[in-house]
């Protein structure tokens, strides 16, 4: 009897003592930061965040903290792995289980796979990746990461124990550590001034700004690469909780399901998973008294650029909590709340409720919504562990099954200038690339040496398929018949964007009758060697295209200068339009930005005076002088409207002001025809692509008020008069642009203006038109 009591006592001691001891020494965030995350007007620096997690790692046997690499600006990119000590002791074994369930072929003969899988599912854990802070002005999530980690590390509650026992939590406090400090520095600098709570007047990621979460298939940025290589591909998480903030005036919180359209290659079980989990979280939060929650609205599931996990057997659980002004509270009146796609925050509906009546909105409200949602997500992951793993296995099983006759067997990718870049993307996405079996022919033609095959019976074939095929975006309309805007863009066909020849093949080894329409490849790409130093204009209002442009130049080690509003307003001594003029630059690039933003910048009073005013009339005058004395000015996409208006060019944007019902192209791949006798199009195929997104379309006009005659305009690219301009994505009113110009050169004085009616270096993806871009910067 005494022995039994002693044993019992010992068991109790063993099972409870570690938690009790741990609880007493686990540091709270405020003990390290000096404030509680969520306190008004308080932001943590990246050093403080890292310091907190390091202290947590030292104090807790539930937390393993590591640096995965360095960011674009050389800060540590970090992750905390959080689970029970027992699970943390067998991480390698748990990774192995994930690998096997992800690729059921590794489980041996078909007949016994399900049985082996069932055994692995019994032993495995739900893998939950929580990513915070990719958008750095959305400060709630990186602050919440410390609250989430602290509770997981310190709590003795039964529900937390269940989470720790049944899940592995991979917590990334920020996907963009550089931005944490960019925003904090600006916020602290403007605190207590009229500009408190404004967004910083610079991109919060060195190159991509807000576009940093549009990189989940192009993988251009080091932060994307680290996340994919060292987290996604190592762990294959079943759930990826991506914590964001939205504007201040809509719902208090968005949770999945996503609104239509869902990209057709997202597996149905993944759609079921985010629907079930999102609805569970919303229902539980409503039951706890949270208000203003929307589901099935605003955010769609179309582009893989934002959803790596959907093509890798994981559910992306986006959450979007309403913002304050960075860390400063705001007060909202009920009638200030504004509708967004799919709901009206002033009315209850199946997509929205219960109504939030307005009032004060603090950073602590944001962190409360975020942490509550995150723990509900973890509860679901823990309580339904087997179901999550079964579904994960089912997705893998469907992916690897042999393709039946008539089904898509795979894609053949011909060698070409950008083929390796395309294959690198597929490789990084976990897609196996192999040489084709002998006997494949294209028509009567033997396959060129170096052709590669992507089979569809492999775990991540869906990722390859969505990137290799043509997108047909559905023609979605609201109740009044207006087109419903996609949340991001509508096309991501890499063979078109990169100018690579790809052929789909049907099982068993047959070519389908109709192949996706693929335009020509670049046969003789001009080497990138610029004659002289170009300058990139940087508006005081940060623009993503300017950042992408710098990334492309840096990644190719091309030197360039940067010109600001202030410098362009000050004048001409920086320009070098001709040998007789002393100065620095002979070509200036104006990246894609609205014409009005270029001209006016921030309005007076919105930001400190040194950031307001844009190019202004002085800047316009100096740019015109630069051209007239021999310089080259290159305008990209919307910036071309600025040139037409300010220089009074003999051009008209034929789609300006048209309602969406008449003309709409929200990020699509169009077909253009080139005049290859022009130096800018030299070496290009006759037909290529144009990335069109809020793009102008040009018509040459005889305008007596224009500064130069129409004969000074040379059309370099135009939309075909006879063919459908749309290659991939969505286009309404395509007939309106047939035969119109997409790229023109206008002689003005001794110099020239080059207007792109598209984005030739779109998000560092449209390699097919890089030659046009670089030739515009270098040919004279
Ligand atoms: Zn965001």
Calculate how far, in angstroms, residue 63's C-alpha sits from the geometric centre of ligand 1: 27
pLDDT band per the 50, 70, 90 thresholds, residue 769: very high
User: Bridge partners of 119?
Assistant: none
Calculate how far, in angstroms, residue 383's C-alpha sits from the geometric centre of ligand 1: 29
**Structure confidence at residue 524 (pLDDT):** 42
Calculate how far, in angstroms, residue 175's C-alpha sits from the geometric centre of ligand 1: 11
Calculate how far, in angstroms, residue 738's C-alpha sits from the geometric centre of ligand 1: 37
Query: Which secondary structure element, helix H or strand E, spans residue 692, and what is its range?
Result: strand 687-693
Calculate how far, in angstroms, residue 435's C-alpha sits from the geometric centre of ligand 1: 40
**Structure confidence at residue 579 (pLDDT):** 58
Distance, CA of 578 to CA of 126 (rounded, Å): 65
The arithmetic mean of pLDDT across residues 51-62, rounded, is 98
Calculate how far, in angstroms, residue 412's C-alpha sits from the geometric centre of ligand 1: 37
Residue 533 has pLDDT above 90, yes or no: no
Residue 291 has pLDDT above 80, yes or no: yes
**Structure confidence at residue 596 (pLDDT):** 98
Calculate how far, in angstroms, residue 262's C-alpha sits from the geometric centre of ligand 1: 19
Identify the three-state secondary structure at position 391: helix
User: Bridge partners of 743?
Assistant: 717, 756
Calculate how far, in angstroms, residue 196's C-alpha sits from the geometric centre of ligand 1: 20
Calculate how far, in angstroms, residue 608's C-alpha sits from the geometric centre of ligand 1: 25
Identify the three-state secondary structure at position 625: helix
Calculate how far, in angstroms, residue 137's C-alpha sits from the geometric centre of ligand 1: 8
What are the angstrom distances between the C-alpha of 166 and each of 274, 395, 547, 702? 19, 21, 42, 72
Calculate how far, in angstroms, residue 580's C-alpha sits from the geometric centre of ligand 1: 49
**Structure confidence at residue 513 (pLDDT):** 46
Calculate how far, in angstroms, residue 34's C-alpha sits from the geometric centre of ligand 1: 27
**Structure confidence at residue 572 (pLDDT):** 56
Higher pLDDT, 629 or 376: 376
pLDDT tens string 624-673: 999 998 899 999 999 999 999 999 999 999 999 999 999 999 999 999 99
Compute the CA torsion angle 681, 682, 686, 692 (nearest 10 deg). Answer: -20
Which of 168-182, 231-245, 318-332, 447-461 shows the lowest mean pLDDT across its residues?
Answer: 447-461
The arithmetic mean of pLDDT across residues 464-482, rounded, is 96
Q: Which residues lie closer than 8 Å to 187 by C-beta, 6 or more apart? A: 43, 196, 197, 200, 326, 327
Calculate how far, in angstroms, residue 261's C-alpha sits from the geometric centre of ligand 1: 20
Residue 525 has pLDDT above 70, yes or no: no
Regarding pTM above 0.85, the answer is yes
Calculate how far, in angstroms, residue 325's C-alpha sits from the geometric centre of ligand 1: 14
Calculate how far, in angstroms, residue 214's C-alpha sits from the geometric centre of ligand 1: 11
Distance, CA of 459 to CA of 686 (rounded, Å): 38
Calculate how far, in angstroms, residue 117's C-alpha sits from the geometric centre of ligand 1: 37
Sheet bearing 408-413, strands edge to edge: 452-455, 408-413, 502-506
Calculate how far, in angstroms, residue 144's C-alpha sits from the geometric centre of ligand 1: 15
Calculate how far, in angstroms, residue 36's C-alpha sits from the geometric centre of ligand 1: 23
pLDDT tens string 683-713: 999 999 999 999 999 999 999 999 999 999 9
Calculate how far, in angstroms, residue 291's C-alpha sits from the geometric centre of ligand 1: 21
Closest CA to 517 of 404, 306, 722, 671: 671
User: Bridge partners of 677?
Assistant: none
Distance, CA of 141 to CA of 367 (rounded, Å): 7
Calculate how far, in angstroms, residue 282's C-alpha sits from the geometric centre of ligand 1: 19
Calculate how far, in angstroms, residue 176's C-alpha sits from the geometric centre of ligand 1: 11
Contact yes or no for 327/43 (Cβ under 8 A): yes
What are the angstrom distances between the C-alpha of 529 and each of 341, 349, 418? 46, 58, 18
Calculate how far, in angstroms, residue 243's C-alpha sits from the geometric centre of ligand 1: 8
Calculate how far, in angstroms, residue 742's C-alpha sits from the geometric centre of ligand 1: 32
Q: Which residues lie closer than 8 Å to 336 by C-beta, 6 or more apart? A: 249, 358
The arithmetic mean of pLDDT across residues 526-554, rounded, is 90
pLDDT tens string 181-227: 999 999 999 999 999 999 999 999 999 999 999 999 999 999 999 99
Contact yes or no for 298/340 (Cβ under 8 A): yes
Distance, CA of 91 to CA of 107 (rounded, Å): 20
Calculate how far, in angstroms, residue 136's C-alpha sits from the geometric centre of ligand 1: 8
Residue 517 has pLDDT above 50, yes or no: no
Q: What is the CA 559 to chain-centroid distance, rounded?
A: 27
pLDDT band per the 50, 70, 90 thresholds, residue 723: very high
Calculate how far, in angstroms, residue 134's C-alpha sits from the geometric centre of ligand 1: 7
Calculate how far, in angstroms, residue 320's C-alpha sits from the geometric centre of ligand 1: 7
The burial class, CB within 10 Å (0-12 / 13-18 / 19+), for 156 is exposed
Closest CA to 218 of 771, 764, 760: 764
The arithmetic mean of pLDDT across residues 162-186, rounded, is 98
pLDDT band per the 50, 70, 90 thresholds, residue 528: confident
Measure CA of the first residue to CA of the last residue in the chain; give whole Å.
Answer: 98
Calculate how far, in angstroms, residue 216's C-alpha sits from the geometric centre of ligand 1: 14
**Structure confidence at residue 445 (pLDDT):** 74
Calculate how far, in angstroms, residue 180's C-alpha sits from the geometric centre of ligand 1: 13
Tokens of 261: 């359209």
Calculate how far, in angstroms, residue 760's C-alpha sits from the geometric centre of ligand 1: 26
Calculate how far, in angstroms, residue 229's C-alpha sits from the geometric centre of ligand 1: 22
User: H helices then E strands: how many in the chain?
Assistant: 23, 30
Calculate how far, in angstroms, residue 174's C-alpha sits from the geometric centre of ligand 1: 12
Calculate how far, in angstroms, residue 505's C-alpha sits from the geometric centre of ligand 1: 39
Calculate how far, in angstroms, residue 318's C-alpha sits from the geometric centre of ligand 1: 9
**Structure confidence at residue 568 (pLDDT):** 93
Calculate how far, in angstroms, residue 218's C-alpha sits from the geometric centre of ligand 1: 19
pLDDT tens string 125-159: 999 999 999 999 999 999 999 999 999 999 999 99
Backbone dihedral region for residue 359 (phi beyond 0: left; psi -120 to 50: alpha; all else: beta): left
pLDDT band per the 50, 70, 90 thresholds, residue 575: low
Calculate how far, in angstroms, residue 77's C-alpha sits from the geometric centre of ligand 1: 19
**Structure confidence at residue 446 (pLDDT):** 78
Residue 532 has pLDDT above 90, yes or no: no
Residue 577 has pLDDT above 90, yes or no: no
Q: Quote the mean pLDDT of the chain.
A: 93
Omega of the bond leading into 508 within 30 degrees of 0 (cis): yes
pLDDT band per the 50, 70, 90 thresholds, residue 779: low
Token match 């002005």: residue? 137
| 147 φ, ψ (degrees, to nearest 5) | -70, -40
The 3-state secondary structure of 247-287 reads CCCCCCEEECCCEEEECCCCCHHHHHHHHHHHHHHHHHHHH
Tokens of 133: 């802070």
User: Bridge partners of 241?
Assistant: 130, 317
Neighbours of 227 (CB within 10 A): 26
Q: How many residues does the chain have?
A: 780
Omega of the bond leading into 257 within 30 degrees of 0 (cis): yes
Calculate how far, in angstroms, residue 486's C-alpha sits from the geometric centre of ligand 1: 16
Calculate how far, in angstroms, residue 244's C-alpha sits from the geometric centre of ligand 1: 4
The arithmetic mean of pLDDT across residues 473-494, rounded, is 96
Calculate how far, in angstroms, residue 251's C-alpha sits from the geometric centre of ligand 1: 15
Closest CA to 712 of 739, 745, 757: 745
Calculate how far, in angstroms, residue 339's C-alpha sits from the geometric centre of ligand 1: 18
Calculate how far, in angstroms, residue 333's C-alpha sits from the geometric centre of ligand 1: 24
**Structure confidence at residue 447 (pLDDT):** 81
Residue 19 has pLDDT above 60, yes or no: no
Contact yes or no for 211/349 (Cβ under 8 A): no
Residue 105 has pLDDT above 90, yes or no: yes
Calculate how far, in angstroms, residue 605's C-alpha sits from the geometric centre of ligand 1: 26
Say what percent of the chain tops pLDDT 90.
87
Calculate how far, in angstroms, residue 246's C-alpha sits from the geometric centre of ligand 1: 6
Q: Which residues lie closer than 8 Å to 136 by C-beta, 6 or more apart? A: 174, 176, 178, 179, 180, 182, 183, 204, 205
Q: Please report the beta strands in 572-657, taking only residues with DSSP state E, as ranges in sequence order.
A: 587-590, 632-636, 651-653
Calculate how far, in angstroms, residue 133's C-alpha sits from the geometric centre of ligand 1: 8
The arithmetic mean of pLDDT across residues 548-566, rounded, is 94
Calculate how far, in angstroms, residue 639's C-alpha sits from the geometric centre of ligand 1: 25
Calculate how far, in angstroms, residue 242's C-alpha sits from the geometric centre of ligand 1: 9
Contact yes or no for 84/166 (Cβ under 8 A): no
Residue 25 has pLDDT above 60, yes or no: yes
Calculate how far, in angstroms, residue 300's C-alpha sits from the geometric centre of ligand 1: 14
Tokens of 169: 């939590």
Compute and round to an integer the Cα radius of gyration of the chain.
Answer: 28
Calculate how far, in angstroms, residue 369's C-alpha sits from the geometric centre of ligand 1: 15
Residue 580 has pLDDT above 80, yes or no: no
The arithmetic mean of pLDDT across residues 317-341, rounded, is 98
């Amino acid at each position: 009897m005494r022995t039994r009591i002693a044993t019992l006592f010992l068991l109790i001691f063993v099972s409870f003592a570690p938690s009790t001891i741990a609880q007493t020494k686990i540091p709270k965030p405020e003990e390290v930061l000096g404030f509680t995350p969520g306190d008004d007007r308080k932001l943590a620096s990246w050093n403080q965040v890292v310091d907190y997690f390091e202290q947590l790692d030292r104090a807790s046997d539930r937390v393993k903290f590591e640096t995965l690499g360095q960011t674009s600006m050389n800060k540590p990119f970090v992750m905390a792995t959080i689970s029970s000590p027992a699970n943390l002791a067998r991480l390698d074994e748990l990774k192995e289980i994930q690998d096997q369930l992800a690729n059921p072929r590794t489980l041996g003969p078909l007949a016994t796979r399900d049985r082996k899988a069932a055994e692995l599912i019994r032993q495995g854990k739900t893998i939950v990746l929580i990513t915070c802070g990719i958008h750095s002005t959305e400060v709630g999530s990186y602050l919440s990461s410390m609250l989430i980690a602290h509770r997981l590390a310190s709590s003795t509650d039964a529900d937390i124990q269940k989470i720790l026992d049944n899940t592995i939590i991979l917590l990334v406090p920020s996907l963009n550590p550089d931005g944490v400090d960019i925003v904090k520095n600006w916020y602290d600098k403007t605190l207590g001034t009229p500009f408190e709570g404004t967004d910083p007047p610079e991109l919060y990621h060195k190159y991509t700004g807000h576009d940093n979460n549009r990189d989940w298939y192009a993988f251009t940025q080091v932060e994307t690469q680290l996340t994919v290589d060292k987290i996604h591909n190592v762990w294959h998480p079943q759930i990826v909780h991506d914590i964001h903030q939205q504007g201040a005036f809509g719902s208090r919180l968005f949770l999945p399901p996503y609104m239509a359209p869902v990209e057709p290659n997202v597996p149905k079980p993944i759609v079921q998973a985010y629907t079930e989990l999102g609805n569970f979280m919303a229902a539980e939060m409503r039951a706890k008294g949270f208000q203003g929650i929307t589901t099935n609205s605003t955010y769609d599931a179309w582009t893989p650029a934002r959803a790596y996990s959907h093509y890798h057997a994981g559910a992306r659980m986006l959450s979007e909590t309403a913002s304050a002004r960075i860390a400063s509270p705001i007060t909202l009146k009920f009638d200030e709340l504004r509708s967004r796609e799919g709901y009206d925050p002033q009315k209850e509906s199946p997509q929205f409720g219960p109504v939030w009546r307005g009032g004060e909105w603090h950073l602590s409200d944001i962190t409360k919504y975020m942490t509550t949602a995150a723990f509900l997500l973890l509860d679901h992951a823990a309580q339904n562990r087997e179901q999550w793993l079964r579904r994960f296995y089912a997705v893998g099983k469907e992916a690897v099954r042999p393709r039946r006759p008539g089904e898509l067997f795979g894609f053949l990718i011909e060698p070409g200038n950008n083929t390796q870049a395309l294959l690198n993307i597929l490789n990084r996405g976990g897609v196996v690339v192999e040489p084709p079996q002998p006997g494949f022919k294209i028509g009567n033609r033997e396959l060129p040496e170096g052709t590669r095959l992507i089979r569809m019976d492999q775990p991540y074939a869906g990722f390859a398929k969505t990137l290799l095929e043509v997108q047909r975006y559905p023609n979605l309309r609201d109740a009044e018949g207006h087109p419903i805007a996609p949340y991001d863009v509508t096309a991501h066909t890499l063979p078109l964007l990169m100018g690579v020849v790809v052929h789909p093949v049907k099982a068993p080894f047959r070519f389908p009758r109709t192949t996706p329409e693929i335009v020509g490849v670049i046969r003789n790409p001009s080497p990138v060697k610029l004659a002289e130093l170009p300058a990139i204009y940087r508006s005081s209002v940060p623009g993503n295209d300017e950042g992408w442009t710098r990334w492309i130049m840096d990644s190719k080690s091309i030197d360039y200068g940067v010109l600001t509003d202030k410098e362009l307003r000050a004048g001409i001594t920086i320009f070098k339009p001709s040998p007789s003029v002393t100065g620095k630059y002979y070509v200036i690039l104006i990246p894609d930005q609205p014409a009005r933003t270029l001209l006016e910048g921030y309005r007076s009073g919105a930001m400190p005076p040194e950031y307001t005013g844009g190019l202004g009339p002085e800047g316009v005058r100096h740019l015109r002088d630069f051209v007239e004395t021999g310089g080259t000015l290159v305008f990209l996409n919307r910036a071309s409207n600025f040139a037409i208006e300010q220089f009074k060019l003999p051009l008209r944007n034929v789609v300006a002001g048209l309602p969406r019902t008449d003309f709409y192209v929200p990020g699509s791949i169009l077909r253009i025809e080139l005049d290859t006798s022009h130096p800018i199009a030299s070496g290009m195929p006759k037909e290529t692509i144009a990335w069109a997104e809020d793009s102008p379309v040009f018509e040459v006009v005889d305008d007596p008020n224009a500064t130069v005659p129409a004969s000074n305009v040379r059309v370099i690219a135009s939309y075909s008069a006879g063919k459908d301009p749309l290659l991939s994505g969505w286009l309404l009113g395509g007939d309106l642009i047939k035969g119109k110009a997409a790229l023109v050169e206008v002689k003005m004085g001794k110099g020239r203006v080059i207007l792109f009616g598209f984005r030739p270096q779109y998000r560092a993806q449209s390699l097919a038109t890089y030659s046009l871009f670089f030739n515009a910067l270098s040919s004279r």
